[in-house]
Structure 1
Amino acid sequence: MSDIDRLLGETWRDDYPWEFITRLTEIENRMGGHPGERRAADLVVEGFERAGARNVGVESFEMRRWSRGDAELAVTDPVERSFETIALPYSPPGEVRGELVDAGYGTPEELDELDLRGKIVVASTTTPEGSRFVHRMEKFGHAAAAGAEAFVFRNHKPGQLPPTGSLEFDAQAAVPGVGVSKETGAWLTDYADRGATASLRVDATTERATSHNAVAELGPDTDEEVVVVGHHDAHDIAEGALDNGCGITTVVAAAHLLAEMDLDTRVRIAGVGCEEIGLLGAEALAERLDLDDVRAVVNVDGAGRFRDLLAYTHGSEAMADLVEAVADEANQPVDTTDRVHPFSDHWPFLKRGVPALQLHSVSGERGRGWGHTHADTRDKVDDRNLREHAMLTALLVRKLAGTDEVPRRSPEAVAAELRADDYEAGMKAAGIWPEGWD
C-alpha cells in the first residue's frame, strides 16, 4: 500500500472534520468584523497547527463592520398588516414609504420595464431556469440606480425563511434592502398587484473595524506557491454550517493530508474572513502576496456540502485537464464547468491574472438552498462529504503543486468571457467591475 493510499484510508476513519465543524458552528455570529469571526479564525489556526503546518498565524485587515438591528415591514394601504423581515448587510438605516411593485425575478429586463421611482421593489432570490444567474447585488444596484426607495428580496425556498446577503462590498448601500420568506413574498406580490403601499424601517450600523485571516504554509520553502483559501465567516442569522462551514472544514482536513504528502511547491493555506460582505479577506491576502509567484489559487467555497464535487475552472483548459486526471486517478466523479464568475474568494486573484479553481458541490437544486437563511445549520451536513472532499481537495492541490506551469489568462480574456455571459452590466451595477477594464 502506498503512503497516499494509507493517508486516504486513515481519513475515512477520521472524526476530526466532524469535531471541527461542530466547534465552528457552536460559535455565535461569525459575521465579518465581529468577535465570533475572530474566534473562528483562531479555531482555523488551531487546525493548521494540529496538521503540523509552519508559520501559522493570524493577519488582520481593516474593514467596515455592519451590525444588524431591527427591521419592520408593513403594508399600510388598502389594509394594515405587518410582516417578518430582516435587513441585508450594508443596508443603511432609514424609514421609507412607497408603492409596492412586483419585479418578478428582478432581472435587468424586468426592472427596465417598470417605473421604479419612489417604489419599494419586490423580487425573487432566484432567476429563471435556462438563463444566467443574476446576483442579488446586480438586482439591487440596478433598482437603486433606477430610483427605487427600497428593495425586498423574497426567498424562492419555502419554510418561512427570510434570506440575507450583502447589498454592497464593504460600503453602505444607497437605499434599504431586506429579505422576506417565500410565504411573505407571495402576499407582497398579491398586494403589489392591488396597488398597495408599504412602509419599511431598518435600524442598522456600519463602522470601522478589523477582521482576520488565518494563514499557514505547507511543503517546501519555494519561491513559487499554490494558494488555498476558504472563508470562515458566515451570516449572523444562522450557524453557517453549509456556507461555508463545510468549505473551511474541508480546507483544514485537507491541510492534515497535505502535511503528510510530498509536495513539489509550497502551499500557502488560509482561512479568510469577510467573504460574505465583499471578499475582503481574500482581497487583503492577494494584495499582500507577490502574485507573480502564485501558480494558482484554489478556492474551497461550497465543497463538502453535497455528494458530488463541482470544480469551476474559470476558462482554464489546463485546470480542467488537471481536475479530470485527479478524478480518474481517484476513481471519483468530479463535475467541471468552465464558467467564469466573480462572486467568491478566487476573484481577487483571478482578476489579477492568477489561474483559479473553485471547489463547490452540487445538489441538483438551483440557488442557495438553505444557505443565507436561519436553516443553515449543522444537521444539514453529512460528514462523509467532508472527508471525501478533503481527500479530493488534497489530491488536486498536490497535483497543482507538481505541475510545472498553469498558463495565465489576461484580464482582457477574463473580461471578454464575463461580457459574453452578460456579467459586465450587472457587475457595474453592483460596483465590482474592475477599474481599467473598459
Structure 2
Amino acid sequence: MDVHPHLERAVGRAWLDDRPREALTRLTELPDRMGGSPGERRAAEIVREEFEAAGLEDVELETFPMQYWERGRTEFAVVDPVERSFEAIALPYSPPGDLEGPLVDVGYGTPAEIEAASEQRGLDGAIAVSSTTTPPDRRFVHRMEKFGLAAAAGAKAFVFANHVPGQLPPTGALTFDREAAIPGVGVSAETGDWLTDYADRGGRARLRVEATTEEGSSQNVTGTLGPESDEGVVLLAHYDAHDVAEGALDNGCGIATVVGAGRFLAAVEDDLERRVRVAGVGCEEIGLLGAEALAKSLDLESVRAVVNVDGAGRFRNLRAFSHASESLADLAERVTDAVGHPVSHERDPHPFSDHWPFLRAGVPALQLHSEPPQGAERGRGWGHTAADTRDKADSRILREHAILTALLVRELACGDGAIPRLEEADLREALEEQAYEPGMRAADIWPTEWA
C-alpha cells in the first residue's frame, strides 16, 4: 500500500476525529432501534445526517417492506416440582402462545445434542432449553439453527439461556422476516441454571407470550464517493438494534466506524479509481432484510467486493472474515501489516450477517469484526442484552477501526489486482464442510436455488 503525504494527513485528522463517537451517542440516545419501528426510522435519519456531514454524495433513504414484530408481555414459570416464576423476554418473530410442557435440557443446542435429547427424553411437546454458547472445540451453532432443530424435533417452545452471568436475558430473532412456528424466549444464565436442574428432575413449565407480526417497512441509507466506474465497492453496516438495550456494541460501533471511514474516504476521494457506495442498512437483527433489499437494488456483477462492518469498533484486535476469498484475506493482511496493526483471520464463510446476500451471489465479501479480550468466553458477551450500552465503547478503538476500514476500502477502490468472484459450487462446498447445511435448512435459510 502506497502512503502519500495527503494520506498521512487524512490519518492524522481521523485520529483526532470525535464524529464516530458523536454518531454512536446520537444513536444510543434513542429509545430503541428495533427493525421497522419508529425508533429505527429516526436512527436512519441520523445516519443520513451523518453521511451528509461526512461529505458523501447522493445521500438518500430507500424504503423496503418487511414484517414488523412487536413484543408484548411474557410470563414464564416452572409449575413442577415447584411453582416458581422467572423473568423471560420473547424472541423476535415468536408467535403468541399459552402452553405448558416438560422441560428438556438440550445442552448447547448442537445438532448431536438435540438428536440425543430427542432420542433419550423425547422433545415432542417439550419446552427445549438451550445455552447461547457453543464449546470452542466445536463449530459455532447459531441461535436460529438451534431453534430450527428443536422445532423440527417436535418441541412446542424454545428457551434460550444466556451463558453470560448478570441476570441478562438475551434476545435474537428466531426466523427471517416471518412469524416462527413455535414460541421462543430468552432467560438469564442464572435462570438457565435452575431450568436445567428442574429438567433433570422431570420438571414442567408454563409459558405465555404476547406478540404481534404485521406488515411494516424499514429503510436503508445510501451515499456514494469517487468517480463513475463500471466496477465499484460496497461498504456497509447495519444501524438497527434489538429493543432491549442501547445497541452500542451491536452494531452502533459498526455504523459509527463506517461514519468515520466515510469521512476519511471523502478526504482522499481524488485517490479513488472506483465508485464506493456506502450504506447503513436496517433490519439486520431480524433477518438481514436491509442488506437483501440493497443487494436486489444493485447490479451485483458490477460489485467488486463488499465490506461488511459488523463487530468492528468494539474491541481493539481486528478480525477479518474473508469468506473463502484468498484475495481478500491477502489484501486485509497487506493493508494491516503496512500500518502495523494486528489482525486475526477467519477464512471460512458463514451466512449470519449482512454480507450474505452478496456472498450468496458470488460477490467477494470481507466482514470486519473484532476480538474480545483474551480469556473471554465464546459468544456475544453483552450483545443482545440490556448490558449493550455506550459506556462499553472506546473512542480510540472507533477511530482506529474507522481508519483501518477506510484503508481497506481505499485499497479495493484503487488496487489493480483481481478479486475473483466466488463460484456457487465452491461456496456451497465450504458451507457443507463446516456442516452448515442441516442447520441452515432447519432455519430455512439454505438458498432455495441450491435445492
Query: Could you list the runs of 5+ residues in structure 1 that have no partner in the other structure?
Result: none
The more displaced of 398-407 and 177-186 is 398-407
Superposed counterparts of 1:381-400, under 5 Å: 381-400=393-412
Q: Report whether the alignment pairs 1:79 with 2:88.
A: no
SS at match of 2:382: coil
CA offset at residue 128 of structure 1?
1.4
Deviations 1:131-186 (A, max 9, x none): 00000001100110111010001000000000000000001000000000000000
Q: Which residue of 2 aligns with 1:172?
A: 179
Distance in 2 separating the partners of 1:317 and 1:126: 29
- State how many pairs are aligned: 438
Q: Secondary structure at the match of 1:89?
A: coil
Please, which of 32, 37, 41 is the counterpart of residue 38 of structure 1?
41
Paired with 1:241 and 1:258, the residues of 2 have a C-alpha distance of 24
1:249-293 deviation digits (Å, cap 9, x = unpaired)? 000110000011111100000000000000000000000100010
Q: Is 1:303 matched up with 2:312? A: yes
- 1:124 deviates by 0.2
Mapped partners of 1:256, 1:129: distance in 2: 38
Distance 1:424 1:35 in 2: 36
Counterpart contact for 1:412–1:437, Cα < 8 Å: no
1:104 aligns with 2:68: no
Matching residue within 269, 278, 282 for 2:291: 282
Moved over 3 A (4+): none
Asked if 1:433 is matched to 2:446, the reply is yes
Moved more, 209-218 or 14-23: 14-23
- Opposite residue 330 of structure 1, the aligned amino acid is V
Match for residue 191 of structure 1? 198
Deviations 1:37-61 (A, max 9, x none): 1111111111111111111010000
TM-score by length of 1: 0.99
Residue correspondence of structure 1 range 373-388 to structure 2 within 5 A? 373-388=385-400
The aligned residue for residue 217 of structure 2 is 210
**Distance between the aligned counterparts of 1:279 and 1:252, measured in 2?**
20
Q: 2: distance between equivalents of 1:119 and 1:414?
A: 36
Quick one: which of 419, 423, 430 aligns to 1:417? Answer: 430
Deviation of 1:236 (Å): 0.2
Which of 327, 339, 364 is the matching residue for 1:330?
339
Deviation track 1:191-234 (CA, whole Å, cap 9, x = no partner) reads: 11111111000000001001000000001111211001100000
- In structure 1, the partner of 2:141 is 134
SS at the partner of 1:66? strand
Measured in 1, the distance between the counterparts of 2:280 and 2:103 equals 41
Amino acid at match of 2:60: G
Q: What TM-score results when the alignment is normalised by the length of structure 2?
A: 0.96
The one-letter amino acid paired with 2:232 is: E
Q: Deviations over 1:303-338 (max 9, x none)?
A: 000011111001111111111110121111121110
Q: Deviations over 1:408-429 (max 9, x none)?
A: 0111110100000000000000
Identity %: 64
Shift of 1:436: 2.2
Shift of 1:403: 2.5
Counterpart pick for 2:168 among 161, 164, 187: 161
Q: Which residue matches 2:32? A: 29
In structure 2, what is the Cα distance between the partners aligned to 1:266 and 1:336? 27
Matched, 1:341 2:353: no
SS at 2:345 equivalent: strand
Paired residue type of 1:387: R
Which of 88, 93, 97 is the matching residue for 1:90? Answer: 93
Q: Map 1:232-247 onto structure 2 (within 5 A).
A: 232-247=239-254
Once the 2 structures are TM-superposed, how far is the Cα of residue 15 of structure 1 from its aligned partner?
1.6
Q: CA RMSD in A?
A: 0.8
Provide the residue aligned with 1:64 in structure 2: 67
**3-state SS of the aligned residue for 1:72?**
strand
CA distance in 2, matches of 1:106, 1:59: 38
Amino acid paired to 1:327: T
TM superposition shift of 1:120: 0.4
The letter of the residue matching 1:370 is W
* 1:322-356 Cα shifts (integer Å, max 9, x gaps): 11110121111121110100000000000000000
